[in-house]
Structure 1
Amino acid sequence: MQWQQFLMVAGAHFLALLSPGPDFLLIVRSALAGGWRRAGAVCCGVALANAVFIALAIGGIALLRADTPAFRWVQWAGGAYLAYLGVRLLGSRSRLDVDALGGAASGSGLLGGLLSALLNPKNALFYASLFSLLAGSATPFAVQCAYGVWMFGVVLAWDLALAALIGHPAIVARCARHLHQVERLTGGLLLMLALAVFAASVPH
């Protein structure tokens, strides 16, 4: 039964990982603009943010529940951050403006990835829902922690693989002439995501 549960948890987590979101857009754009090393720093930031949500979900922190004012503040902050990134990218004037989603240093890339994932309310909801189900099925705490470590590792490995693929010099060279259009497209998508987050945060 434990293996069946693990396969269910791992499968649900991986399917959620495949769903494109702001973290995916951030990694792709960073890889095209600065290569896999810069995108790798973003990946580490995204993975660390996931680790924070996992720890909060295992601890049963009420902040992650969708019906709390704190969660609505996270939604608004996340929407504002996505809108900020979108406007920055739409306003970039050349492909040399590679700092729109984070600075040139690795630390800035790390911070950009961390903020992107921390301010994504879907991450909070996913982990809160998944671990509340595990807690309801009396899954031992040690097993939940093992699942959390697994999820952190998968997020980091998947994002690093994505960054290495897109940030390959041959792909970057091929896409360099189109980076301006990529920035415009990414900026537009981020603004659409921001609007969706704002709409979801309005009480119905």
Structure 2
Amino acid sequence: MEYLNEFITIALVHLVAVASPGPDFAIVVRHSVAYGRRIAMYTSIGIGLAILLHVAYSLVGLSVIIASTPWLFTTISYLAAAYLLYLAVGALRSGPSENGDPRTQVNKKLPPITVKKAFWTGFLTNGLNPKATLFFLSLFTAIIDVNTPMMVKAGYGVYLAVATGLWFCFLSYLLSTSKVAQLIGEKGYWLDRTMGVLLVGLATKLVIG
């Protein structure tokens, strides 16, 4: 109970952050529309586990070094932007599938994707995001008290990873329900292309600040 108020603050800040449109949101929507629930779920799990990466380096203070070293932060930003552009190209190439179902891999314009690749796409999308570095830097310096035990901080990190994974799994489920699929219909590839444009915009924002 001693750290309940701190935990509630962290949970609320995280809720706002995870619900905001960003690379994670864009890639989950894209995979849900283009490949269906199963692939999107694995993507979501990858995103959730990537949170543990941010937590790990924040606990040992590396986030401060990354944020305070301009060339290192810039390098990470460019790597992230390049990866987002790579994902955007695939999304922008999306077209109508041969059988009219936007959630199948029949569309020859979309390369097939395995669950392993979906997982790593989610992991890298979140893990390379420098905005996440800044988020966890502020979280572990401004919100979490310096005197909070390491085990409690690690517990916060596990919660953030699980909560993130569950949120995007829920989004994956919601986007792949029958009603939403019917709403998207045969024009689902336009939503895929929209996510591609969003990814290009996010990549550009990373480069120009």
Q: Aligned residue for 1:197?
A: 206
Deviations 1:31-79 (A, max 9, x none): 1222211100100111111111111111211476323122221100011
Offset of residue 195 of structure 1: 0.7
Offset of residue 99 of structure 1: 4.4
Please say if residues 10 and 143 of structure 2, whose CA atoms lie closer than 8 Å, have aligned partners that are also in contact. Answer: no
Distance 2:25 2:63 in 1: 27
Which of 41-50 and 181-190 deviates more? 181-190
Closer, same or farther: CA 45–98 of 1 in aligned 2, 3 Å: farther
Counterpart of 2:194 (choices 173, 180, 185) is 185
* Structure 2 counterpart of 1:51, one-letter code: L
Q: TM-score, with normalisation over the residues of structure 1?
A: 0.88
Report SS of the residue matched to 1:176.
helix
Which of 134-143 and 77-86 deviates more? 134-143
Question: Within 5 A, what are the aligned runs for 1:94-173?
Answer: 94-95=96-97, 96-97=107-108, 99=110, 103-133=112-142, 137-173=146-182
Q: Aligned residue for 2:50?
A: 49
Report SS of the residue matched to 1:66.
helix
Distance 2:173 2:152 in 1: 31
Distance 1:44 1:73 in 2: 26
Please say if residues 35 and 169 of structure 1, whose CA atoms lie closer than 8 Å, have aligned partners that are also in contact. Answer: no
Closer, same or farther: CA 138–63 of 1 in aligned 2, 3 Å: closer
Q: Aligned residue for 1:2?
A: 3
* Structure 2 counterpart of 1:158, one-letter code: W
Identical counterparts, % of pairs: 29
Please say if residues 63 and 70 of structure 1, whose CA atoms lie closer than 8 Å, have aligned partners that are also in contact. Answer: no
Closer, same or farther: CA 47–64 of 1 in aligned 2, 3 Å: farther
Distance 1:109 1:97 in 2: 18
Report SS of the residue matched to 1:139.
coil
Unaligned runs of 5+ in 2: 98-106
Offset of residue 125 of structure 1: 1.1
Q: Aligned residue for 1:74?
A: 76
Q: Aligned residue for 2:104?
A: none
What's the RMSD between the two structures over aligned residues?
2.0
Distance 1:196 1:66 in 2: 17
Counterpart of 2:94 (choices 92, 95, 117) is 92
Distance 1:138 1:38 in 2: 41
